[in-house]
A and B are shown apart, each in its own frame.
Chain A
Amino acid sequence: MEQNQNNPYIKDFPILFRTVNSNRLTYLDNAATTQKPTAVIAALTDFYTQHNANVHRGIHTLSEEATDMYESAREKIAQFIGAPTSSEIIFTSGSTESLNLVVAGWAANNLVSNDVVVLNSTDHHSNLVAWQMLAKTLDLKLKYLSVDANGELDLVQLKTYLNEGNVKVVSTSHISNVLGTVNNIKEICKLAHAVGAKVVVDGAQAVSHIPVNVQSLDCDFYAFSGHKMFGPMGIGVLFGKRSLLENTNPIKFGGGMISTVGLESSTWATIPERFEGGTPSVADAIGLGAAVDYINNIGLEKIVAHESSLNAYLIPKLNSIKGLHILGSADFTKRAGLVSFYVDGIHSHDVASVLSTVGVAVRSGHHCAMPLHKGMSIASSTRASYHIYNTYADMDALVNGINTAIKILG
């Protein structure tokens, strides 16, 4: 039923009722950001109309309410990803800031010259560039994992790197934002931990799409963004194991993160406040809590089944379009709910542009993964990414739009 127009979740997303260029909006850019359900929008409005106050600062009623709501959102998120305690959940502005905190706060403080960091060559720039910067400052060595034709990470190569010694960190996405590959984090953690290396996971494309439990994965850090999981923009999360957070330096200094301040030096507040200098995005954190409730009400198993049925419907149709090439696994049971492709002789921008004229929103370009595209010798690709509110009709609109683009530009 969810695959058809009587999908019961569509009504939860007001934006899906607007038109684009006189067509019904077909929103297939969920990997960039998801749309927001009424429950999340209402949580923001409720905060600003009933409870707005700064947190951890006042003893007046509104401040107490705001603090309780903020901390209860943290609690919800901890449970949602299986974190042992809510103090290991740090609110950030998004995956990018979370990963920057790991690099500048933890790695800069714990790695030394000639240590090796293993990265994933297909990853988003946010999990590459900060490491490159630190590598320059500390004289670290970066080694890149490659993927096979199906987009699967080469774990044999990982073992080789780990055996070569000095590996202190393996940092990879959970799900590739271009290939849709679900990386085997559990296995990567097992291998890395055997040589004492820590594992940092960029979960931006995983949370809300597949069940994530940081304890069963046994990862050391896990980063994700609220806006890619029905939550507001401007809020994200870093989970870190407590023992590692204890050895992490704050990267934002100021109010809210101190214990005592003298004229020469200061001491830090406890975890997690230590990492949340300045006034946090309180309303957005509460909105993210509402997004977690929304996802829990649907059930992650249902989301997984829904996305895989959309893959099963769409991918054979795409494969039958002449000149269209899908990036990553041809086996749609092995990918998350997104598909990137290119069409011979037609630039991805033109494909996206024609699609937009019929109301279909997709991403085109390099999706912040330039090394991946260079590695495949293509300049760019077009990406369709789905979530619980997408239907077979959306997939048909996409396929028809691609055929129109080929007719016009081919």
Chain B
Amino acid sequence: MEDNIYREQLMELFKNPAYRGHLNNATLTLNANNPMCGDELIITLAIKDGVIKDYRYDGEACAVSLASAEILGEQIIGEPITKLISLTKEELLKLLGVQLTTSRVKCALLPLETLKDASTQL
């Protein structure tokens, strides 16, 4: 059996999410889409004075994307935007704690890359 990606930590994030949902007071709404695999997330952010006050994500995506979106919440809420901008792909993958194949790396990076692409709007 390959190094199973559906380990306890990842499944915990997937099954008991803290940040899945939608912010009503969002200052920014982003669509995170990976059409090749049918991942479609909506990310809402509440930003004030350069600080990410709150963050939620929702939509249809695989366990890897969703767990990664969850970790992102843990990392950026209450932090200045600069923290998000300096968060690297490698750090995020390390936080996920599983060995991913090339195609699944794309899933894992979808939420982070969407936020980074929008960083000029932040």
Contact = CB atoms under 8 A, between A and B. Distances in A.
A364 B64 CA distance: 15
B39 interface: yes
B1 A347 contact: no
A57 B34 CA distance: 47
Given A354-B6, A409-B63, A380 B38 contact: yes
A365 B37 contact: yes
Contacts of B4: 357
A349 interface: yes
Contacts of B6: 350, 353-354, 408-409
User: What interface size band does chain B fall in?
Assistant: 20 to 34
B59 to A, nearest CB: 9
A353 B1 contact: no
Interface string A358-402: 100000111000100100001110000000000000000000000
Pairs A-B, 3 closest by C-beta atoms: A380-B38, A379-B38, A349-B62
B60 interface: yes
Contacts of A79: none
A379 B60 contact: yes
Contacts of B35: 366, 370
Interface string B2-13: 101110000100
B62 A350 contact: yes
Nearest to A373: B38
A348 interface: yes
B79 to A, nearest CB: 29
Nearest to B107: A349
B58 interface: no
Given A21-B1, A22-B1, A357-B4, A379 B39 contact: yes
A370 B11 CA distance: 29
Nearest to A364: B37
A378 B14 CA distance: 20
A353 B107 CA distance: 12
18 contacts: A22-B1, A347-B63, A348-B38, A348-B62, A349-B38, A349-B39, A349-B62, A349-B107, A350-B6, A350-B62, A350-B64, A365-B38, A366-B35, A366-B36, A379-B38, A380-B37, A409-B14, A409-B63
A353 B61 CA distance: 13
Contacts of B38: 347-349, 365-366, 373, 378-380
A379 B40 contact: yes
B117 to A, nearest CB: 21
A364 B104 CA distance: 12
Nearest to A379: B38
Contacts of B11: 408-409
Contacts of A357: 1-2, 4
A295 to B, nearest CB: 31
Max count, chain B CB within 10 A of own CB: residue among A358, A365, A373, A378:
A365
